[in-house]
Amino acid sequence: MIATQYSTASEATGCQHSTTVLRVLGIIECRHPVASLAVLYWVAPLMGAAEVLSALNRAQAAQPAWASLSFRDRARVVLQARKIVLAELDEIGTLISRETGKPSAEALSMEIVPGLDLMHYFARHTARLLQPHKIDIGQYWLMGRSSQVVYKPLGVIGIISPWNFPWATPLAEVVMALMAGNSVVLKPSELTPLTALKIGEVFQRARLPKGLLEIVTGDGTTGAALTDAGPEAGLAKIMFTGSVATGKRVAASAAKHLTPTVLELGGKDPMIVLEDANLQSAARAAIWGAFCNAGQACASVERCYVHESIAPRFIELVVKETLALKQDNPAESEVDVGAMSNERQLRIVEEHISDALERGARVLAGGKRVKNSGGWFHEPTVVTEVDHSMDLMRDETFGPVLPILTFKTDDEAIKLANDSVYGLTASIWTRNIARGRRLATKVDAGTIMVNEVVYTHALAQTPWGGVKQSGYGRTHGRLGLLELVSPQHIHINRLSFLPDVWWFRYSTGASLLFHSLAKHFTSGSIIQSSLLLPQMIKRWRERRD
């Protein structure tokens, strides 16, 4: 028996919140689906432009006081929120699992654990990561100048998030934005509003001042209202995570207002297994990389390229491991593969498989939807004899399917891996780390893992983001934090009693000095620059007269 997902109800709605409401919903959902739909609609309403603008107003009003606090004071709130999460691990895990269909084990390992780690990291390290720093301005220091960069909060950050990691993805961006001194308006996916509202509730209980984390529930129209608001309404930046199609709409709307935007979009991530790879590890990594989260991770292994010499043994291991996976009610602790989060995505998986079969592919394991399961289950599927004419090898499948193709040379493997409009992550499997590192630089993707798959999104310290249609900008790590601040250059002249030699008025002497500056000052040599001193003194005198 498969548990009903909250999303059956939430698909039709967009969610104000309290733990009590969430509990009530959980209790009545099983017995009275219609009443549960009504409660859900009340909890997570479809908000319009007026509500989005009010949320932006509140966030804008609350932000300056928050920005004036020390990093330590902000960290106190984040660490308090972290304590609350730790105390409610199972409750939160169950909520995520019910709302998405993923196994509770994955809610814990792929969402809650990385979130806790990230909260700890940014609470402890944001002050260091955003410390003002001096810039080497070369020879200009000889003129008594110095430069420094300081990092200022941007204001209100609009976060628009998808349904596949409804806890980890928005939580990370909320924590980083808050630690940097911003306030947040969060628009979660209409399919997973309850998890987002739980994030809001946790911060509310951690005594985050009112207005700093506003959650606007609803569908694409609510998201569009947020991006359409622009800086005029106080929106300083958009952090969007979702599909390429929506990403393009968000970018177009942001362009109208020149709102800075980070886009974290889809992927079609390749895994390259070289002939010297540890086959057992590579096979296990391939199936976890392709089937974890029911294949609905932006960094899922969506294409596997195996050296022809090891392909038969590799495929045999992959099929054996796949057939041993347990797929069932995600609430059960020993389930490996849960349900997909929505029927639309399940249909895309079916379409990709049927297109591949029509073009000559072979299914070696799985291959179809699980009927009469009470949820959107698709069997973990291994497909061979694929090529790049197939949708399965070109478009994001976002489901539990592992297509495997063979290659003969390293160059061919790189060419196949790069033959995609996407470039989020990639992995290379080899016992020779130097070879792996060398090949890694040839793959077009934001993250390349050698002997690993998928998981670096869980590393708070490392940048996350793609190239090509996988988007632009970064989240996570220092690079991600820098997206949430405005770098300000502060330049000081300690010799202001001397006029600058390049100021008016120009003269023959000035031209001679500028020639000397071109030849000597720009050489980078202190000795050559100091030879200019007599000419400079002459110019200063001339300026004084």
Report the interface residues with ligand NAD, using CB under 6 A: 160-165, 169, 187, 189-190, 219-220, 223-224, 227, 241-243, 246, 249-250, 264-267, 298, 396, 398, 424, 466, 471
Separation of alpha carbons 19 and 80, rounded Å:
17
> Residue 494, class by beta-carbon neighbours within 10 Å (0-12 exposed, 13-18 middle, 19+ buried)?
exposed
| Of residues 181 and 234, the one with the C-beta less far from ligand NAD | 234
Can you tell me which residue has the tokens 């209980």?
205
Determine which one of 88, 298, 379, 483 is catalytic: 298
Residue keyed to tokens 């070289």: 274
Nearer of residues 153 and 242 to ligand NAD, judged by Cβ? 242
For ligand NAD, give the closer residue by CB, 165 or 288: 165
Q: For residue 368, what is the DSSP state?
A: S
Active-site residue, 298 included: yes
Q: How far is the CB of 86 from ligand NAD (least distance, A)?
A: 24
| Token pair for 223 | 């998201």
Tokens 């609803």 identify what position? Answer: 218
Least separation in angstroms between CB 297 and ligand NAD: 7
How near is the Cβ of 163 to ligand NAD at its closest, in Å? 5
Q: How far, in whole angstroms, is CA 540 from its chain's centroid? A: 54
Which tokens belong to 238? 């958009």
Closer Cβ to ligand NAD, 158 or 375, answer by number: 158
- Give 402's strand partners: 382
Residue 15 among the catalytic residues: no
The residue number with the shortest CB distance to ligand NAD is 223
Residue 113 or 142 having the CB closest to ligand NAD: 113
Of all residues in the chain, what percent are helix, strand and coil, respectively (each to 5)? 50, 15, 35
The answer to whether residues 256 and 225 touch, using CB atoms and an 8 Å cutoff, is no
Which of 482, 487, 486 is closest to 176 using CA atoms? 482
Answer yes or no: are the C-beta atoms of 390 and 356 closer than 8 Å: yes
| Rounded to 5°, angle at Cα 538 from 537 and 542 | 115
Residue corresponding to tokens 């001193």: 533
Question: What tokens does 168 get?
Answer: 């980890």
143 or 233: CB nearest ligand NAD: 233
What is the C-alpha to C-alpha distance for residues 312 and 318, in angstroms, rounded to an integer? 10
Alpha helices by DSSP H, 275-372: 279-291, 311-323, 343-358
Q: Report CA-CA distances (Å) from 272 to 352, 390, 411, 413.
A: 21, 19, 11, 7
DSSP for residue 88:
T
**Beta carbon nearer to ligand NAD, 202 or 224:** 224
Q: Identify the active-site residue in 111, 190, 214, 264.
A: 264
Q: How far is the CB of 261 from ligand NAD (least distance, A)?
A: 11
Just list the catalytic residues. Answer: 264, 298
